[in-house]
Amino acid sequence: MPRILKPILAVPFTLLFIFALAILPHLFQLNGGGGLHLDWSGSMSSVKDYFAGIGTGESFRFISGRKELSFWEQIGGYFRTSLFYIAIGALAGTTIGILVGIYFSLSRAAWLKRGVDLAASIPDFVLIILLQSLVIFVGKSTGVFVFKFASISSKDPAIALPLISSIIIPASYMIRSVALQMKLTMTEDYINVAKSRGFSKPHIVFFHALPNVLPFIKTDINKLLGILIGNMFIVEFLYNLRGVTKLLFTDTFSNNGYQYALAVNGLLALVIVYTVVYVLLRIYLWGWEKVFSR
Partner 1 sequence: MNKTLAIGLAITAILFAAALFGQWLAPYDLHHQLKIDYILDDSGKGYLIAPPSPPGSDYPLGTDKDGYDLLTKLLNGARYTVLLSIGIALARIFIGGSLGMFMGYYGKQTVKPASGSSSWNMLNGIPVFIISWFVLRGITTNSSLSPLSLSLLTGVVLTAVGIPSVVSSVKGKTQVIRDRQFVQAAQSLGAGHWKIVRSHLFPHLKENLLVLIVQEVILVLALFGQLGIFNIFVGGTTMYFDMLEYHSRTNEWGGLIAQWRDLKGIYPWIFYYPLAAYILLIMGLHFIAHGLEAMYKKRYAKFSHL
Question: What residue ranges bind partner 1 (CB under 8 A)?
Answer: 3, 6, 10, 17, 21-22, 24-26, 28-36, 105-106, 114, 117-118, 121-126, 129, 133, 136, 183, 186-188, 191-192, 195, 201, 204-205, 209, 215-216, 218-219, 221-223, 225-227, 229-230, 233-234, 237-238, 249, 253, 258, 263, 274
Q: Per this entry, what is the length of the chain?
A: 294
Q: How far is the CB of 23 from partner 1 (least distance, A)?
A: 9
* Closest CB to partner 1 among residues 44, 57: 44
Q: How far is the CB of 55 from partner 1 (least distance, A)?
A: 26
In sequence order, what are the residues at sequence separation of 6 or more whose Cβ sits closer than 8 angstroms to the Cβ of residue 91?
Answer: 280, 281, 284
* Closest CB to partner 1 among residues 192, 293: 192
DSSP characters for 162-229? HHHHHHHHHHHHHHHHHHHHHHHHHTSHHHHHHHHTT--HHHIIIIIIHHHHHHHHHHTHHHHHHHHH
- Whether the CB-CB separation of 14 and 271 falls below 8 Å is answered with yes
* Closest CB to partner 1 among residues 121, 153: 121
* Closest CB to partner 1 among residues 55, 198: 198
- 3-class DSSP assignment, residue 10: helix
* Closest CB to partner 1 among residues 49, 117: 117
Q: How far is the CB of 223 from partner 1 (least distance, A)?
A: 5
d(CA 209, CA 212) in angstroms, rounded, equals 5
* Closest CB to partner 1 among residues 155, 201: 201
Q: How far is the CB of 285 from partner 1 (least distance, A)?
A: 12
- 3-class DSSP assignment, residue 64: strand
Q: How many Cα atoms within 13 Å fall on the side-chain side of residue 253?
A: 6
Q: Is the dihedral of CA 6, 75, 81, 237 positive or negative?
A: negative
